[in-house]
Amino acid sequence: MNESNFNRRDFLKSACIGVGALSLSGCGDEIRRDADGEPIKNFGNENGLPSIDVLIIGSGGAGLRAAVAVRKKHPSLGVVVVNKGMPSRNATCMAEGGINGVIDFEHGDSHKLHAYDTVKGSDFLGDQDVIAKFVEKATEAIHELDYAGMPFSRKDGGDVAARFAGGAKFERCNYAADKTGHAMMHACLDEAISSGVKFLLDHYLLDLSTDGDTCEGVVLLNIRTGDVVPILAKAVVLASGGYTRLFFNRTSTPFNATGDGIAAALRAGLAFKDPEMLQFHPTGVRNGGALITEAARGLGGKLINNKGERFMSRYSKKMELAPRDIVSRSIETEIREGRGFGEGMGSYVLLDVTHLGEEKIMGGLPQIRHVAMLFENMDLVKEPVKIRPTAHYSMGGIDVVKFDDMSTEMPGLYAAGETSCASIHGANRLGGNSLTDAAVTGKLAGEGAGDYAASRAAFGSGKRASELAQKWQLRIKEIVSGSGEPNELYSLREEFGRQNWDNMGIFRTGEKLEALNETLKQIQARHAEMKIANPNLAFNTALIDYLELGNLILLARCACVGALNRKESRGAHTREDYPKRDDVNFLKHTLVRLNGDEPTISYKDVVITEFPVEERKY
């Protein structure tokens, strides 16, 4: 491409499929050309329905890496990425601290040490066979992103710069200032567009469609028009993000990450693995929970209580660089025992980086300086910032049965990133491993989906997809009857978030979880009877809010049941009534499926290979 003639807006526009052509009657055959000028097939018309070889739900790092992987390995396949909004609206671009992967092997670090840190960080709930493969793929991912043009920060010699992240023995968290996810997402987006990937924007996932036991495609809602659109695909990759938005009032998760892919998989009969394992990041800003990156502590940030003490010395030898679950519990303990500032939900401690100096802060932490000024009106160059833990990451997700291709138990369906659970993170994810997860699992899922699609001669019948679409059309017409109270939905959403935070937050008890379980059933029933006051289907954001809340309620019920039945404390799951880890009864994964509308539980053994289970000390 001639750089002097490059216009990114036109470049992106050329990648977006015209949504107006999509309807229940199909969209016909459309031939476009990829970045090399070769014709590729986008949407075809099979059995009277729009069809595509590989359909990817979600345009974050995992979805984009999956899309590129399909095109690189199978350039003749058509690939379409579906997103609720613009492709750059995702959780990946909000990740700040860095991306883990060993690229410096000359100073004592190794894949084995990265694997051990990840296993120990997971509180031994991570599957060790998967983790061993993950850390090797992590190194490949860093080099691939570097080669793709990701603007990493650099050492004096030009190598990618790295720093410490919580729970790590070596500096293996590679970074681009404190905007690593933003840099990664845009590098991946540019590579996807130039690879011939096409984007279908303003479309919302309603459900998966199956032909027998095989995934035949999806049913989408066209947000622009309100039309319900069934689409056939030879392979589908779910990469729609996690579900910590269920703590609606206090989370760093973007508003559009509402667990839609996981909820659709549950309704299709798949297992939701380890739903109770929800991570709280230690340092969200006091107001609302927007993220202050772990890199601030990696560079030497100090946590201070109302007595002026650097209190982490009471809880861990690694101080502020202990794993996230330990630091989060420590902060909340300081607040509960009266050593925090403020009261109630406004309570906080301080994160102090002033000693680093303006040059180091502006060079390595410019984004969080902006966040602190935006949300707290505080300049962290001059003063400590007010912080409190915030709901941040979902260790649980769709059960992946084979890490090598990120396949699920349903043929034709793949999962990647935070939507998936390949058991890399177990009960607690290490800082820096999330972007690595997106890059690694995204590529594996894309290659797996591409191989599967290339092996299939025909699409599904489309009968189930058409039936689902018709049911959704009737249901949506019922929801937007125009008879509802305008604020009822949002009041329910606020109540939902508060109940989850109070009863399934950092500290849990059986009594609280029992009460929450009943409350969530009532909230789900109220939601099911609710109507939307606006009957206009075009860009009906209240309808989207309603559908998203329904998915979050379903996932919260699964998480609550998993937490209630896990009678131990492990990683991010802290039961005050069962404070010890119980390896005899709970060294196993929770699997939740739906029996009708009710979550039911089974368990699956954790895979132990190289590292014996031991007491987790930092």
In this prediction, residue 109 carries a pLDDT of 97
What end-to-end distance do the CA atoms of the chain give, in Å?
51
Longest dimension (CA), the chain: 70
**Which DSSP category does 612 fall into?**
-
In this prediction, residue 287 carries a pLDDT of 86
Phi, psi of 591 (to 5 degrees): -120, 120
Contacts of 547 (CB under 8 A, 6+ apart): 204, 206, 221
Q: Which residues of the chain fall short of a pLDDT of 50?
A: 1-6, 19-40
Q: Is 11 helix (H, G, I), strand (E, B) or coil?
A: helix
CATH entry, 477-605, from 2.60.40.2310, 1.20.58.100, 3.40.710.10, 3.30.990.10: 1.20.58.100
Amino acid at 410: M
Residue of 551, 544, 466, 412 whose CA lies nearest to 219: 466
What average pLDDT does the chain have?
Answer: 91
Please classify residue 279 by burial: count the beta carbons closer than 10 Å to its beta carbon, then call 0-12 exposed, 13-18 middle and 19+ buried: buried
Phi, psi of 584 (to 5 degrees): -65, -45
Residue of 532, 531, 553, 552 whose CA lies nearest to 541: 532
In this prediction, residue 357 carries a pLDDT of 94
Q: What is the CA radius of gyration of the chain?
A: 23
Q: Do domains 281-389 and 477-605 have the same CATH topology?
A: no
Q: What is the Cα 234 distance to its own chain's centre? A: 24
Interstrand relation of 397-399 and 413-415 (parallel, antiparallel or unpaired): unpaired
Contacts of 85 (CB under 8 A, 6+ apart): 201, 202, 256
In this prediction, residue 9 carries a pLDDT of 54
**CATH 3.90.700.10 holds for 281-389:** yes
In this prediction, residue 289 carries a pLDDT of 86
Contacts of 2 (CB under 8 A, 6+ apart): none
C-alpha span between 135 and 425 (Å, rounded): 12
In this prediction, residue 263 carries a pLDDT of 98
In this prediction, residue 13 carries a pLDDT of 59
In this prediction, residue 495 carries a pLDDT of 96
Helices and strands in the chain, H and E counts: 16, 22
Q: Where are the domains of the chain?
A: 3-92+185-277+393-422+433-463, 97-177, 281-389, 477-605
In this prediction, residue 39 carries a pLDDT of 42
Catalytic residues: 324
Please classify residue 440 by burial: count the beta carbons closer than 10 Å to its beta carbon, then call 0-12 exposed, 13-18 middle and 19+ buried: buried
Q: Which CATH class is domain 3-92+185-277+393-422+433-463?
A: alpha beta
In this prediction, residue 20 carries a pLDDT of 38
SS3 content of the chain, % helix, strand, coil (to 5): 40, 20, 40
- Sign of the CA dihedral 174, 177, 178, 183? negative
In this prediction, residue 88 carries a pLDDT of 86
In this prediction, residue 33 carries a pLDDT of 38
Phi, psi of 281 (to 5 degrees): -75, 135
Q: Is 310 helix (H, G, I), strand (E, B) or coil?
A: strand
In this prediction, residue 97 carries a pLDDT of 85
